[in-house]
Structure formats: C-alpha cells, structure tokens
C-alpha cells in the first residue's frame, strides 16, 4: 500500500467536497493510502504571490515541513495547491539563502524543512503504469464509451517541470490514458490546457466568463458529453458559472462538469452518492442515465 500525505486544500472542505470524497473512494479502490496532512494551512493560491512572494513561500514551506516530519510525500488534488507546493519545494532546494530564511521562520512552529519531500498532483498517482493496469483490470461498464473532454487546466502542466518537453506540456496525454483505462472515450479539443480564469471569476468576471465560454464551446464542438476536471477552481468555474456564460452570450450550455475522480469512481463501481454526485448546479444526470448505465447500481 503506497501512502501519501494528502493535502486537500481549502476548496475541498466544502465547495469542492465531492472532489475530496471521490478522491478518497478511488484511492481506497486502488490501494493508495491518503493520510491527511496534519494541521495543513492554505497554500496561498495566486493572491499571496501577488502581494508578497516570501509570504507565499513560507505558507507552502510549513506544509512541506509537516510532511517531512511525517516522512511522507505530498499529493494535492488542486492544480494551484500542487503548483505552489511544487515550486516552493523547488525554490527551497535550489536557493540555500531562501531555505535558511524559511527555516528561521518555521522555527516559530517547531518545524524545519530539509528538502526531502516530493510533491505530486493526485492524478500523477493514478496514471503510473501499475495504476493504469489496475484500473483497466477493475473497470466496469459504467462509463464505457462516454465521451469525456479531459480538462487538465493550466497549473497542473505549467510551469513546465524539468525534463518535460514543450510538446508534452502543450499536449499532455496522461489524462486521456486514465480515461481510456477506465473505459471512457476521451475527445480531442484544443483548449485542454487553457486557463479557466480561476480567480478572475472574482476579480475580472467578464474575462473569466469569456474564457469559460471558449472552453465550453470547444468541448461541445468536439462532441463531449461531459468535461472532466482535475482542479476545484476549474470545476467550480465551469459548472457554477455556466449560467453566467449563457446569460452573457445567449448560449444554452448544460454540460455536466465532473471531477476525474468521480468518473473514475463510477468506473470502479463506487456508488453515485459516495462520489458526491448530485451536488452540482448543472445536472450530471445525462452522464448517469446513459443507456449502458441503466442496468448498473445507483445506490451508495
């Protein structure tokens, strides 16, 4: 059983609780142990880097130090949390002065970070060769042939990690591999790594709504029945604000937006309620009531 320090991030507590429960279910099914990081604090999102980069770094350094104390690597379901923790980790490993200063600050919580933790996005755990083989073996018919638009989002692939070629960062394929292993039919569309707007939904509504419209149209044009996301901000934007897009552009999108862990969970036979499905503002019924799904169990 591989064990990780699980860093849920602030949104997964309530707004994106379905991502949390579905991640837990999928991890359980695939033999991955997720131990919630003790007393974790906010990663700072993008707001902290806008005001003070050293503060942004120290917030993430605390989480890294807690994981190191526990002797575990971190997995994060949210793109922004993942990116912040990963880049802070890289910065502290690269810059000895920064690390020294952060450790001076961490003393205030009896902590220290010596660069021993690795940070992954939770999807990375489920796309290893072993995990994909396990998924292929265990997947039922629940999402067989479902046309899914895999929406990576931006910060899961950018900034590009060392060793990743530009072509790979521009056109990653591991999300598609995951969906195929689960029996679904990933569709190709050009905006799979384009930003959803994230906090612009708050700070520049018009910009975010346009970005969402572009994404939704692109996925619909490609024949997607559902968009799968890997980040709570992406999901919330695409789903909760779909109405805003329709109002602003006179469209009538009704595209279900689910977390990849919810789709994976369905494939692995986890019940709808246990995956937090049903809490969406845009109904996911179209996904659940597909012909091949009609005979599958829907209970918890």
Question: Do the bridges between strand 2-6 and strand 74-76 make them parallel or antiparallel, or are there none, so unpaired?
Answer: parallel
* 108 or 294: CB nearest another protein: 108
Give the residue among 224, 156, 157 at the shortest CA–CA distance from 184. 224
Among residues 35, 109, 130, 141, the one that binds another protein under rule CB under 8 A: 109
199 binds another protein (CB under 8 A): yes
296 binds another protein (CB under 8 A): no
Which of these segments, 67-75, 100-108, 173-181, 263-271, binds another protein (CB under 8 A)?
Answer: 100-108
Which residues in the 116-145 window bind another protein by CB under 8 A?
none
* 54 or 188: CB nearest another protein: 54
114 binds another protein (CB under 8 A): no
* 3 or 104: CB nearest another protein: 104
Neighbours of 253 (CB within 10 A): 17
Among residues 155, 218, 235, 261, the one that binds another protein under rule CB under 8 A: 155
Which residues in the 209-228 window bind another protein by CB under 8 A?
210-211, 214
Six token digits for residue 252: 């009538």
Which residues in the 53-82 window bind another protein by CB under 8 A?
53-55, 57-59, 62
Among residues 128, 173, 204, 298, the one that binds another protein under rule CB under 8 A: 204
């Amino acid at each position: 059983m591989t064990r990780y320090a699980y860093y849920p991030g602030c949104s997964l507590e309530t707004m994106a609780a379905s991502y949390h429960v579905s991640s837990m279910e999928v991890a359980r099914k695939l033999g991955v142990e997720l131990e919630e990081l003790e007393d974790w604090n906010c990663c700072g999102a993008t707001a902290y880097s806008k005001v003070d980069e050293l503060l942004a770094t120290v917030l993430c350094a605390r989480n890294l130090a807690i994981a190191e104390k526990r002797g575990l690597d971190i997995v994060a379901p949210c793109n922004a949390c993942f990116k912040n923790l990963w880049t802070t980790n890289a910065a502290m490993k690269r810059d000895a002065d920064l690390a020294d200063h952060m450790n001076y600050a961490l003393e205030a919580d009896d902590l220290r970070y010596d660069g021993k933790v690795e940070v992954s996005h939770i999807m990375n755990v489920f796309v290893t060769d072993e995990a994909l083989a396990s998924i292929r073996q265990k997947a039922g018919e629940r999402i067989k042939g479902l046309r899914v638009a895999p929406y990576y989002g931006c910060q899961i692939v950018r900034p590009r990690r060392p060793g990743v070629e530009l072509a790979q960062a521009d056109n990653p394929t591991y999300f598609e591999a995951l969906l195929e292993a689960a029996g679904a039919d990933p569709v190709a569309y050009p905006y799979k790594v384009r930003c959803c707007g994230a906090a612009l939904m708050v700070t520049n509504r018009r910009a975010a709504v346009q970005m969402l419209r572009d994404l939704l149209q692109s996925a619909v044009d490609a024949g997607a029945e559902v968009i799968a996301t890997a980040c709570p901000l992406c999901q919330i934007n695409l789903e909760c604000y779909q109405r805003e897009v329709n109002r602003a552009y006179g469209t009538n999108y009704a595209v279900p937006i689910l977390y990849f862990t919810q789709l994976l969970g369905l494939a692995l036979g986890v019940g709808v309620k246990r995956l937090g499905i049903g809490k969406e503002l845009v109904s996911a019924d179209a996904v659940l009531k597909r012909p091949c799904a009609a005979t599958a169990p829907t209970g918890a």
